[in-house]
Amino acid sequence: MMRRRLYLARDTAPAICRTMPPTFAQRFRGKHALITGGGSGIGRAISERFAAEGGHVFIMEINGAAAADAAAAIRERGGTCDVLTADVSDTEAMRVAFAGLPKLDVLVNNAGIAHIGNVLTTTAMDMDRLHAVNVRGVYHGMHFGVPRMIEAGGGVILNICSVAAKLGISDRFAYSMTKGAVLSMTLSVARDFVDRGIRCNCVCPARVHTPFVDGYLAKTYPGREEEMFAKLSAWQPIGRMGQPAEIAALAAFLCSDEAGFITGASYDIDGGVTLLR
């Protein structure tokens, strides 16, 4: 019954509005944070959390409507937010976007796309499409973001990875490939710039209840959404999917000065999937 209520609640206000406490420590006051894919799902939750903690948030989105809606919600709560419309896979668009920032203290590489298929069913086009967004997009963020952080005397990068980077998950061939690359890039950048005041970490969520999940269920399992939602939730030993606000809470800690001794780390936030299944 509990899982059924969770599923039916998905069409109400975004989870972050229901689960975030009314006040926060102002850990990002005076800081500028850019979140790619910051207009929906995990990215929106992170954008809202950083703004609630006093940060000047830049939402980078290819979906202008989603970005505008998220920005409006932030401003209604008294937060500061600007929107950058860009495709993370487009080198020139990313160069221009980062060059136009007044300052960059925090970068969250969140934008990504998914794919279902094994090595036989995944086409070369599928591989190129996922690589363009999930790998090259993260590369662009760090390639253009690191120099801005060096200018500012340091900064923090957080890459949104996945348990798929570490586990053998069926029918996630291309997606797992890209997330493995994100994990490796995280370690490389952390090592190369540790002496320049830049910290770089990643978080590895299991399934998180976002609009993408709802759309996937409606498209793939019409009429069986509740059944499949319960099945996907049960895959996590904790018995449910994560909420975007929970990922945002960990992101806020890792990108804050409280985590100043943490770099080159990968944090599982997976309801027990990695070690308890």
- For residues 212 and 42, the answer to whether their CB atoms sit within 8 Å is no
- Please list, in sequence order, all residues whose beta carbon lies within 8 angstroms of the beta carbon of residue 215, skipping any fewer than 6 positions away: none
- For residues 108 and 255, the answer to whether their CB atoms sit within 8 Å is yes
Predicted pLDDT of residue 277: 87
Closest alpha carbon to 100 in 108, 92, 89? 92
Model confidence at 267: pLDDT above 70: yes
Residue-wise pLDDT tens digits, 104-139: 999 999 999 999 999 999 999 999 999 999 999 999
Q: Which of the following is catalytic: 7, 139, 175, 267?
A: 175
Predicted pLDDT of residue 25: 84
Closest alpha carbon to 228 in 241, 247, 245, 237? 241
Q: Is 221 a catalytic residue?
A: no
Residue-wise pLDDT tens digits, 184-233: 999 999 999 999 999 999 999 999 999 989 998 999 999 999 999 999 99
> pLDDT-derived band of residue 23, with 50, 70 and 90 as boundaries?
low
Amino acid at the residue 231: K
Q: Enumerate the domain spans of the chain.
A: 30-208+237-258
What tokens appear for 131 in the block? 């690589």
The answer, as to whether pTM is greater than 0.75, is: yes
> pLDDT-derived band of residue 234, with 50, 70 and 90 as boundaries?
very high
Does domain 30-208+237-258 match CATH 3.20.20.140? no
Predicted pLDDT of residue 24: 76
- For residues 70 and 40, the answer to whether their CB atoms sit within 8 Å is yes
Model confidence at 22: pLDDT above 70: no
